[in-house]
Structure 1
């Protein structure tokens, strides 16, 4: 199913393209470690966007879960399923592939790239289509989908809290520059925020059921 959720122009390669790029990594000089303040900021981002998903989906009726603003639009339930599937994708990619990738350049501007990820991925000003494996199919009920997302997000947070070397490995990204593992975690957080905004747009549609 096609969707009208958005990506920046730089991100149009999609998540599948990001994964494929991992196959062409080249060895680069070592990078610095993750600061405690950055780790705490990342945890706060994941917590904030987790709460955003919960708030956007709280107390919905079956009709509200299933409402679509158009035949090619996603419902709240479908958007949530995409968020949950993507959360799985990101954590698997980061933990199994990014953490095995080469080091980044030691003079990388960490803070500027961190901000770029959070701003660009949350930006919904451009359209694109989700990769097939991350497209919703109604495989779970809405509550099952939310539970699935929350369990994976808890694992994502635990990974950020307990894993060392998150600045020490980089992989090419849809943003046109390499991202380290920490920045890919920010990418995952911003991605859920992006689609939380999409769910809120569905709820704000004039045709959205009152109950």
Structure 2
């Protein structure tokens, strides 16, 4: 009997040590950012004509359609990267290398005053998506997959890290990165629409 009571007590104590891998607030914040930035992309392209989608403000600038293709392909690639990181071993020893808070990371990615050259395979001309419609469908599929993941995951997101050229982030921050990245290019779409020569 004493042994049973001891075991029950031990299980009860351990249950208090089991911590949600991310807090309720973190889960809620990530889901809101993912949903808001998904809707942001869709709102900006809704009802646009072919001429508006393909208009380029300059020879070295992207059209709205090219922005959407880049968003879609980046979403796929970043999701695959995160999935691969989560399937690997946790790296809690790398947490000391993380220098950006969640808020700082979002601000950094969304800040278009700092220009960044994308890799070759993420340039619109190298993306095998036929048009805006196909790109939006791809983006929606991957974003919904990520939203479902965030809703249900019990994985240790904070102790799986990934190194980027700008520094190391954890997998929870990777989710914020993905959302902020789509917003970065939603802003780019808005810049295209603000051009004086944009078709009306």
The 3 A distance-change label for structure 1 pair 41 and 61 is same
Determine which of 10, 24, 49 is the counterpart of 1:61. Answer: 49
* Secondary structure, aligned partner of 1:71: coil
The 3 A distance-change label for structure 1 pair 102 and 58 is same
The 3 A distance-change label for structure 1 pair 106 and 39 is farther
CA distance in 2: counterparts of 1:107 and 1:171, whole angstroms: 10
Task: Specify every segment of 5 or more residues in structure 1 that has no aligned partner in the other structure, as ranges.
Answer: 1-31
Determine which of 91, 110, 118 is the counterpart of 1:122. Answer: 110
Spell out the pairing of 1:83-102 with structure 2 (5 A cutoff). 83-102=71-90
Q: Which has the higher helix share?
A: 2
Please identify runs of 4+ aligned residues in structure 1 that moved more than 3 A. 105-112
Give the drift of 1:207: 0.4
Determine which of 157, 164, 172 is the counterpart of 2:163. Answer: 172
Q: Name 1:49's counterpart in structure 2.
A: 37
Q: How many residues align?
A: 178
C-alpha contact 1:122 1:193 (8 A) present in aligned 2? yes
The 3 A distance-change label for structure 1 pair 180 and 202 is same
Q: Name 2:8's counterpart in structure 1.
A: none
CA distance in 2: counterparts of 1:108 and 1:160, whole angstroms: 24
Relative contact order (C-alpha < 8 Å, sep 6+): which is higher?
Answer: 1
* Secondary structure, aligned partner of 2:164: coil
Bigger Cα Rg: 2
Spell out the pairing of 1:9-28 with structure 2 (5 A cutoff). none
CA distance in 2: counterparts of 1:172 and 1:111, whole angstroms: 12
Q: Deviations over 1:97-152 (max 9, x none)?
A: 24415323597699962111111000011222210111112632111111111111
